[in-house]
Each structure stands twice: as C-alpha cells, then as structure tokens.
C-alpha cells in the first residue's frame, strides 16, 4: 500500500515538472449579427455590398443576413444564389433597414434613413462630394452609429477598400480606352504596340492608386506611358511599385501640353482635397490633342480634370468634343460590378466576423480593430473632427464616448 502511494506521489512530482498549457483569459461570447443588404438606388450604382459566397460564410458562423429582392441583379447574382447561400430574401425594403447592421455600397438616401430604426449601425461609403444634403443630421436624429468605407484603414494606414476600387478603376480605364481606340470612332487603332508600329502613348494625370494600375495595364500592353503628379514622392512610389523607370513629371502646364499633343490616350485620375478635383487641362489643350484620341476622366465624380468633361452614363458613355472622344462615366468600378462586388465582400465579411468575435461593435472599437477606424458617428454624435467642422456640427472623440460603456 505504501509502495503504491509513493509511486503515485512520484508520478505527481514528475507531472508538475512537465510544460503546462498557458491559461488565457476567455473572450466574451460571440455576438450574433443581423445584417441587412438593400438594393442600391444611387445613379450608376450596380454593385452589391455582399456576394453570396460572403453570405454563406456569415451564415455558417450563425449570423442572419437579410437581402432585398434583386439586390444583386446588376452584379449578376440572383435571389436564388443568395437563398442557397443562407440568406433570407425579403420583398419589403423597410425590413432590410430594420436589421441591426445595414450594409450598403453608397450612402443611404434620406428616404432610406427614414426607414431605419433607432440606434442601428450603418456601414456604407460616405462620399461627401455626392452626399445628400441633411444626411448626417438625419442619421444623428436616429442615434445611428455610422462607419464609412472611405475611412477604414489597416495597420499600415492603407485604406483597403479605396485601394481595391482604385485598382479596378485604373485597370478598367485602360481597357475602356483600348475598346474606344479599336472602335470605328477611334479609327480602328490598337492600344499598345507591335513590332514595327509606333506604340500608343498614354498620358496619366495622377500617381495615386488609379494612376498606378492604369500605368501597369498600359505598360503591359506595350504602350509608352507618361505620368504627371505634383507630388515627387508619389511619382517615386509609383516607379518603385511598377518596378521600372517611367517618364514622369510634375504638373507643369507647358510640359503637359506638349505631352498631350502626341498622346493617344489621356487618363484623368487626380483627386481633389475638397469636393472638387482640380481643373488641370483647359479646352485649348484638349483641342491640341490628336484627332480621335481618347480622354477617360476617372475624376468626373469630383467634376473632372478636363475642362471639356461632362457627366455621362453607362448607357451613353461617350461624346466627342474638340475632335477628342471623351468617356466621363462616374463610378467606373460599377462597369465591372461583379468583380467590384467581390472585392468589396472580401473586405466586408472578415470585418463583420471580427466585429462579432469581439462581442459587438463597442468591444471591437475598444480593441481598436479595423472596423473602429471607419467610425465617424457613434450613437448620433459625430466623432470625426474634420467632418464636423466641414458641416458645422458638434463632435466628440470616439474614445470618450465609449469609455464608460
């Protein structure tokens, strides 16, 4: 008997010396989310905030997704696609706007805000340049917590959705230019170059994300590319990103005018610091371009950088001014709505899962997760100083509002 006890004690001492598992603090229980996906009603908007694959992922984690009928139709996703992924299709728009989290691509209209209840969470673009007058006041009256895709930043300070849409816009702008050049309007020319034939010349205004990916696409087709930007840092960054030396210049009018005279394509991709993009190209400069050359003004949603630009639609996308073909459709990513919707879902689904895993929005904000960087209104109070000053509204820091919760 004593021998058995001694053996047990020896085993216990030996076990105590073995490495032990670290006991971590248990996280709060996962929140169950109810997410509403309304059909987009904004002009030229064909994207949808969540694709069926993302809905299936959320449903597998126990979250409920309400999708308004035909919400994905313009991106070629049917109600049946969403239903099979686990979503509930609703035919009454007001039901979608009663969900705990309303997920949209574009900012809601005032009519849509009226359908919302009190203290809901809205995730959408902010887009101050095209925002409805009185929208922020209407959201504030509903005690809404609002998150803007435009503001969400990762740990490196990069805005992932803005970058993804810029990548799509830049690539698509070159594809559009290629189609127009090859058409009868463009006299049947090919964008790029082949042996023995002068390569196409592409002038890009702006060295941001749109400009970078437009340059990548044009170079890949064999075109000669010239990039203009007032920031030497952005020009250097673009050259490093592309991986080769490029013809670059700051925005000097005389140099720009000379470059446009021989350009086959000009891409306007400059964002304004306010609601209006800078007017960089005058009408005489456009008149000096080649006959039937192409202008794609990606900045048209901020008024455009060409004096001759005017708003067009996906149905009637082009017009000819000064002998130059102009493509001035806002929201170019909507032209490839299925791809753009998938890119948006790739960001939205992980953000929502992370929010749920943290136990809800307030814990997620306190842990300073990615979603917290996009909050511009919390329970009806603006938390973004620049936005509040611009609109003449009071604001409070987000940390202060959530400290006591």
pLDDT-based confidence at 29, cuts 50/70/90? low
pLDDT for the residue 129: 63
300-321: pLDDT as tens digits: 988 999 999 999 998 899 999 9
Q: Is the pTM of this model over 0.85?
A: yes
The three-state secondary structure class of 296 is: strand
Sorted by sequence, the CB contacts under 8 Å of residue 320 that are 6+ apart come out as: 185, 326
Q: What residues does 224 pair with on adjacent strands?
A: 201
Asked if 231 contacts 211 with a C-beta cutoff of 8 angstroms, the reply is no
348-361: pLDDT as tens digits: 999 999 999 988 88
69-84: pLDDT as tens digits: 999 999 999 999 999 9
Taking the mean position of all CA atoms in its chain, how far away is CA 385? 22
pLDDT for the residue 404: 73
How is residue 378 written in tokens?
Answer: 């919390």
pLDDT-based confidence at 102, cuts 50/70/90? very high
Nearest to 300 by CA among 269, 256, 334, 257: 269
Mean pLDDT of 363-382: 87
25: left (phi over 0), alpha (psi -120 to 50) or beta: beta
Asked if 54 contacts 26 with a C-beta cutoff of 8 angstroms, the reply is no
pLDDT-based confidence at 7, cuts 50/70/90? low
What domains can you pick out in the chain, each with its CATH number? 34-158+336-402 (3.40.50.720), 168-333 (3.40.50.720)
Asked if 174 contacts 399 with a C-beta cutoff of 8 angstroms, the reply is no
pLDDT for the residue 10: 59
Q: Alpha-carbon distance 31 to 385, whole Å?
A: 30
Asked if 346 contacts 60 with a C-beta cutoff of 8 angstroms, the reply is no
Query: Tokens 């992932």 belong to which residue?
Result: 160
Q: Alpha-carbon distance 272 to 276, whole Å?
A: 5
- Is the per-residue pLDDT at 372 higher than 90? no
Asked if 160 contacts 154 with a C-beta cutoff of 8 angstroms, the reply is yes
Mean pLDDT of 338-342: 98
- Is the per-residue pLDDT at 202 higher than 60? yes
How is residue 329 written in tokens?
Answer: 């459709």
């Amino acid at each position: 008997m004593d021998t058995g006890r001694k053996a047990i004690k020896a085993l216990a001492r030996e076990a105590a010396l073995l490495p032990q598992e670290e006991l971590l603090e248990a996280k709060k229980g996962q929140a169950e989310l109810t997410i509403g996906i309304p059909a987009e009603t904004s002009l030229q908007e064909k994207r949808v905030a969540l694709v069926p694959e993302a809905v299936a992922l959320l449903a597998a984690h126990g979250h409920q997704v309400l999708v308004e009928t035909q919400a994905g139709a313009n991106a070629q996703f049917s109600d049946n696609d969403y239903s099979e992924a686990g979503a509930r299709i609703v035919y009454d728009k007001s039901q979608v706007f009663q969900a705990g989290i309303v997920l949209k691509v574009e900012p809601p209209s005032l009519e849509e805000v009226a359908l919302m209840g009190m203290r809901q969470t809205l995730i959408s673009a902010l887009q101050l340049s095209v925002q409805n007058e009185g929208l922020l006041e209407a959201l504030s009256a509903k005690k809404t917590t609002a998150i803007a895709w435009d503001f969400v930043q990762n740990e490196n300070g990069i805005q992932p959705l803005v970058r993804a849409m810029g990548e799509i816009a830049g690539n698509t702008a070159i594809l559009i230019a290629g189609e127009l050049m090859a058409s009868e309007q463009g006299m049947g020319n090919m964008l790029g170059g082949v042996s023995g034939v002068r390569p196409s010349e592409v002038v890009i205004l702006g060295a941001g994300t749109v400009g970078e990916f437009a340059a990548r696409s044009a170079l890949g087709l064999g075109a000669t590319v010239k990039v203009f930007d007032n920031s030497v840092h952005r020009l250097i960054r673009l050259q490093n990103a592309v991986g080769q030396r490029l013809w670059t210049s700051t925005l000097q009018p005389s140099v720009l005018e000379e470059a446009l005279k021989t350009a086959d394509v000009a891409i306007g991709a400059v964002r304004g610091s306010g609601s209006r993009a800078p007017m960089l190209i005058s009408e005489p400069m456009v008149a000096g371009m080649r006959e039937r050359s192409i202008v794609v003004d990606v900045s048209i949603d901020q008024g455009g950088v060409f004096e001759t630009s005017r708003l067009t639609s996906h149905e009637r996308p082009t017009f000819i001014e000064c002998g130059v073909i102009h493509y001035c459709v806002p929201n170019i990513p909507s032209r490839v709505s299925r791809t753009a919707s998938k890119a948006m879902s790739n960001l939205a689904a992980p953000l929502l899962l992370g929010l749920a895993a943290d136990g809800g929005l307030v814990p997620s904000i306190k842990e300073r997760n990615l979603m917290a960087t996009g909050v511009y209104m919390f329970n009806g109070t603006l938390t973004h100083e620049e936005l509040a000053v611009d609109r003449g509204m009071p604001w409070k820091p987000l940390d202060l509002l959530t400290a006591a919760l």
